[in-house]
Amino acid sequence: MADFTSSFWNWFIAVPTILGILGCFWLVIHYSGARTYGESKEGEPMGHVWDGDLQEINNPLPRWWLNMFYATLIFGIIYLILYPGLGSWKGLLGWTEAGQYEAEMKQAEETYGPLFDKYLKVPVAELAKDPKAVEMGRHLFATYCVGCHGSDAGGARGYPNLRDNDWLYGGTPEKIVETITNGRQGAMPAWEDQGLLTHEQVVNAAEYVRGLSGAEVDPQARAKGEEVFKTNCAVCHGPDGKGNQALGAPNLTDDIWLYGGSQKRVIESIAHGRSGRMPAWGELLGKGKIHLLATYVYSLSHNKGP
Ligand code: HEC
Ligand code: HEC
């Protein structure tokens, strides 16, 4: 066992354990026989009196009670022979935590593997019409995704809503699978912090951007902001501000905000930048589970009905 690089720790654990068990045996044997106590023999009063007539009698401990001690001691010895517990002794059964984990994973794989494989053959858009598959996807979502995207996938500030058919990276089955498998990293530069724009330019750009989705803004600031936008922002967000899914640059014209659409929040986004990170799940979950997760996510904005 790698935990015991020198034999000192092996003996440090094994010796006191064995001595402890032998000590317990000695103690139980010592107290099971009849003993004399001072002047008194077995069954006689020992001379301790309480409350006038309550006396202590020299009786041995009850047999059934002592037998319980023997039983636990023998159980302990058998356990330590069969399982790891005495220093680096591995136990006769060869049980390990890792082994048990692997056996359980293998069993789960045997149970669910064929089911996942069966679903893997059906394209996501079609599978999204199968209530059983969507339900399985929903369970997986509840296990792995709700911490960030919310229990109804409605999102929160910084964590996109997955129900609204508005996509940072694209809502086709292929793009959703790609997002879940490889993760995503948003990269909005910090225009003011990095000295790329002055605070005034940032405020003007914010007015322009908010105006794109119909907010009432100061027309003069908006006009100045348009210049800033054309020069600095159009590369990623597009000349019309409709975004670019290849870069994860959001559409700024739809009044759907990842980080909030108030003047304060939009200025914050532009001045300090944003870098939302979606973790990669490919290695942890594998193709079968990701296929079902994508099915669930896809169903949220494509399944019409109650
Ligand atoms: C640690 C938090 C976190 C967890 C857990 C997480 N996500 Fe995400 N996810 C994000 C963030 C943040 C983004 C947006 C990335 C960005 O801003 O560029 C995102 C983006 C996405 C997108 C892209 C949305 C779009 O508009 O293109 C999808 C789809 C998605 N997540 C699905 C999932 C699924 C399915 C799971 C569970 C397996 C999951 N996420 C777990 C944080 C998380
Ligand atoms: C290098 C590409 C790039 C450039 C250039 C860029 N952005 Fe962004 N922007 C992004 C990305 C990517 C995001 C999303 C960040 C995330 O997902 O965490 C974003 C997010 C935003 C947001 C937040 C949107 C929301 O839904 O909350 C605003 C506002 C914004 N950008 C405005 C601007 C303005 C104004 C400029 C020009 C001064 C600009 N961006 C330049 C890539 C860019």
Q: Which ligand is nearest to the CA of 250?
A: 2
Q: Whose CA is nearest to atom 9 of ligand 1?
A: 278
Q: pLDDT per residue over 15-65, tens digit each? A: 999 999 999 999 988 877 766 677 777 778 888 888 888 888 888 788 898
- Over residues 196-254, the pLDDT tens digits come to 999 999 999 999 999 999 999 999 999 999 999 999 999 999 999 999 999 999 999 99
Residue of higher predicted confidence among 72 and 115:
72
What is residue 94's predicted lDDT score, i.e. its pLDDT?
Answer: 87
Candidates 274, 263, 272; CA nearest to 206 is 263
133 CA to centre of ligand 1 in angstroms: 21
Check residue 304 and give its pLDDT: 67
User: What is the number of the ligand 2 atom nearest to the C-alpha of 209?
Assistant: 35
Sign of CA dihedral 199, 200, 205, 208: positive
Ligand in closest contact with the CA of 209: 2
* Residue found under tokens 């149970």: 111
Q: pLDDT tens across 165-186, in order?
A: 999 999 999 999 999 999 999 9
